[in-house]
Amino acid sequence: MLEVRDFTVSYGESEVVHQVGFEAGEGEILAVMGRNGMGKSTLFKSLIGILPSRGGSVKLCGQDLAGLPSHERVRKGLAYVPQGRMVFPALTVMENVLTGLRNRKDSVPEEIFSLFPIIRDMANRKAGNLSGGQQQQLVIARALVTNPKVLLLDEPTEGIQPSIIKDLARLLVEIKKLRGLTIVVSEQVLSFALDVADRLLVIERGHIVDQMTRANADSATLGRYLSV
């Protein structure tokens, strides 16, 4: 589904992501694990086209996305939920969801309302005034209305209460089953990653240093990668 090869990103002269390569199959949840500053967010921003990549290829169902502006990547089936959620704060909840629709006549599918009841319940509230967990649901809904084949989620658990993190994990697995969606999620919280992921990658200083399936995942080894 998503195929990343020799993917390199740099800020000016300093290279941050070095020739990263991975694949994520249809209906698979892939977790990218790593501590702060290891290049997770940079990788994700560059995959969606907010940051330019210096080299390598990103293929979605065989089509190369490298060099395309963000909105064209979204049209080809990639969706992105950034770290820190980034709702449009002064727009209402409903308006935030509507921004993901391409055409004037499109409407929000009923499925979205049943997955995220808060969108109907809080439709007219300003998105900026929602709590972190509510905003997280909102931005996932906003990404889903673009009908993606692959969803990129950057640190969805950051700044969210532990009790809600459990709900979020259930939600992601449900969305994956419902839509056959491929999800690539970057994460530092090991328990969350083990709840949702089919496979885990470990990124360190911009290199992928380890990968494993969930069945083989060893919390002790992973814990070592994540501890400071």
Partner 1 sequence: MDGMSFSEFGSVLIMQGFNGLSVFSVLLLMALGLAIIFGQMGVINMAHGEFLTIGAYTTYLLSVLSTQYAPWFENYYFIAAIIVGFGVAFVIGWLVEWLMIRHLYKRPLDSLLATWGLSLIMQQTFRSTFGPKEVSATLPSWLMGSYQPKEGIDIPLNGLFVMALTLALTCAVAALMYYSRWGLKVRATVQNRAMAGAVGIDTAKVDRMTFALGCGIAGVAGAAFTTIGSTGPTAGSLYIVDTFLVVVFGGAQSLLGTIASAFSIAQTNSTLEFFMTGSMAKVITLTTIIGILLLRPEGLFRLRVRK
Closest CB to partner 1 among residues 86, 209: 86
Minimum CB distance to partner 1 smaller for 99 or for 191: 99
Query: Hey, what are 117's tokens?
Result: 């009841």
49: left (phi over 0), alpha (psi -120 to 50) or beta: left
CB atoms within 10 A of CB 27: 14
Q: Tell me the C-alpha distance between 162 and 139, whole Å.
A: 19
**Binding region for partner 1 (CB under 8 A):** 48-50, 69-71, 74-75, 79-80, 82, 86, 88-91, 95, 98-104, 126, 128-129, 142-143, 146
Q: Which is nearer to partner 1, 102 or 205 (CB)?
A: 102
In this complex, which beta carbon is closest to partner 1, that of residue 39 or of residue 100?
Answer: 100
Using alpha carbons, list the distances in angstroms from residue 81 to 19, 157, 205, 210: 23, 12, 22, 24
Measure the CA angle with vertex 34, ends 32 and 39; round to 5°.
85
| Closer CB to partner 1, 151 or 169, in the complex | 151
CB of 152 to partner 1, least distance (A): 9
- Which CB sits closer to partner 1, 19 or 70? 70
What is the closest distance, in whole angstroms, from the C-beta atom of residue 100 to partner 1 in the complex?
5
Q: Provide, rounded to whole angstroms, the least separation between the CB of residue 221 and partner 1.
A: 33
Q: How many CB atoms lie within 10 A of CB 29?
A: 25
Tokens of 121: 């319940």
Amino acid type, 49: G
The type of residue at 104 is: R
Using DSSP's 3-state secondary structure scheme, residue 158 falls into coil
> Closest distance between partner 1 and the C-beta of residue 74, in Å?
4
CA distance linking residue 205 with residue 211, whole number of Å: 15
β-strands 2-11, 78-81: how paired?
A: unpaired
Q: How far is the CB of 128 from partner 1 (least distance, A)?
A: 4
In angstroms, give the least distance from the CB of 36 to partner 1.
Answer: 21
- Least distance (Å) from partner 1 to the CB of residue 81? 9
Q: Return the number of the residue (18 or 45) whose C-beta is nearest partner 1.
A: 45
**Rounded alpha-carbon distances, angstroms, from residue 73 to 59, 113, 204:** 10, 25, 27
